[in-house]
Amino acid sequence: MESLRRIAPGAYFVSALLFLITLADYLGNAWPFRPGEVDWRYGVVGMISTYLLSPLLGCLIASATAAWLPHPKVSKFLGLLMWLGAVLLLAALGIFVLDSIQVRSAAAAGARWVTTTSFMLASGKIFLAAVGLMVLGRGNLRAAAVNQPSGSRTRETTRPIVGQS
């Protein structure tokens, strides 16, 4: 256990790097931002599906580190953050569905299969990443609850009722 504690800062650092470097690459490829254009939104949300694996791996590394040590506050924070990420991915997926309908209808008849295929692949990856974040988030919240120090758990205690006559 002591050796795990010694590598914990490095594990958290690497997990943060997996997330932050991937985010920087993604934002660099999404630049310049044009959220008012359907083609840009469709491309940016579709592109996110190719960037999801590294941040998920970072989430797994941070989650495993927090659970094994145990760091219940970190586990709880990660759990809530992962649930937020899952909700954001599902919202992006909803927008992606609507934008794909517009992009597909504007495409030439011979090119619609490309739009449909790329949409299906990207949607599947985004959905599975959201499910992965939900599962990891739930696991982190459970680990946080289990790994609470025994003195900090809130327990219901019964107190005698003292009445006056």
pLDDT value of residue 133: 98
d(CA 45, CA 102): 14
Q: Which residues of 121-142 are buried (b: 16+ CB within 10 A; e: fewer)?
A: ebbebbeebbebbbebbebbbe
pLDDT value of residue 159: 54
pLDDT value of residue 114: 86
Count Cβ atoms below 10 Å from residue 52 Cβ, excluding itself: 21
Token readout for 138 is 């739930």
Q: What is the pTM of this model?
A: 0.84
d(CA 49, CA 91): 14
User: Tell me: the pLDDT tens digits for 102-128?
Assistant: 998 888 888 888 889 999 999 999 999
